Chains A and B, each alone.
Chain A
Amino acid sequence: MPKPAEVTRPSDREVRVTRTFNAPRQLVWDAHTRPELVRQWQGYEGWDMPVCDMDVRVGGNYKWQWKNREDGSQFGFLGTFTEVDDPSKLVHEQYFDPGDMDFAMPTGDPCIVSLELSERNGLTTLVCTLRFASKEACEGALSTGMTDGMEHSYTRLDDMVKAAA
């Protein structure tokens, strides 16, 4: 069982998530860049993913959209790829689209998401860095948007976490 993800704050406007996978780097890359694979793991408890469009090349766009199964409310992310270095580095802008969600995540300047993959002995380490436009955007996005928005499904996440403990 791989070690759980680690989250650190390299600076006041960045969040870094590090995770290792029991798979070759190419597969982890594919899982992040091919829509039919992305749909199978990206998401939130209780939400469907009606939109998963990805044009993975420099200057290409992507769009992800989720829809709540109970009340139909939607939100998503979209942006443009700025670096595509198969299978080691992927960088894209990430704009938040609040759809009909009520929470106050910043929608102005994008977050820059960079994924770096390295492989050793069949294990792939993923370092995902989210760089926000400012300290306020970082904390706003993560504290208010993530947690309040996810209150929708958080009680279920709580149960899952307790059950898994």
Chain B
Amino acid sequence: MQISERLNLTFAALADPTRRAILARLATGEATVTELAEPFAMSQPAISKHLKVLERAGLVSTDIDAQRRPRKLEPKRLAEAVDWIERYREIFEQNYQRLDALLAELQAKPSRRKQTKKQH
């Protein structure tokens, strides 16, 4: 799967607050569907629907215990999405740090103003 397709699925999965709460719970350890449904005013089938979306995105997997079938978090896929936003943020931040320097320069007293440096 292309990285952008994977990211589409990941972001769609993360777009829902219930699914984000499920991920937060799974981040503390694996859990069965019953255990996951407990804090929500939601039926198990409704929770299962959310879990399917998360599983399709590769964010959650089912552990091998055939009876309990606990779900667990797949941190690598989540890290990929976070990393992507983080890269984007870093590009903006890099520019904004240069803007910080420029703004400081523009506000400096005229007598102390240095020749502004050429970009890059």
Is there contact, CB below 8 Å, between A23 and B4? Answer: no
Is B3 a contact partner of A144 (Cβ separation < 8 A)? yes
- Interface band, chain B: 20 to 34
Size class of the contact patch on chain A: 35 or more
Q: Are A39 and B103 in contact (CB under 8 A)?
A: no
6 pairs of A and B residues whose beta carbons are closest in the complex: A41-B98, A23-B103, A41-B99, A7-B89, A5-B93, A143-B4
CB-CB < 8 A to A42: which residues of B? Answer: 95
B100 at the binding interface (Cβ < 8 Å): yes
B28 — which chain A residues lie within 8 A by C-beta? Answer: none
Query: B79 near A: Cβ within 8 Å?
Result: no
B66 CB within 8 Å of chain A = no
Bound: A19/B97 CA distance, A: 10
Contact mask B1-42 → A, CB, 8 Å, 1/0? 001100110011001000000000000000000000000000
Interface hub of A27, A41, A42, A157 (most chain B Cβ within 10 A): A41
* A12 adjacent to B15 (CB under 8 Å): yes
With an 8 A cutoff between CB atoms, is A121 at the interface?
no
Please determine whether A143 and B95 come into contact, CB atoms closer than 8 angstroms.
no
A-B residue pairs in contact (CB < 8 Å), sample of 18: A5-B96, A7-B89, A9-B11, A12-B11, A17-B92, A21-B100, A23-B103, A30-B106, A40-B102, A40-B116, A40-B119, A43-B120, A44-B91, A45-B120, A139-B4, A144-B3, A146-B88, A147-B87
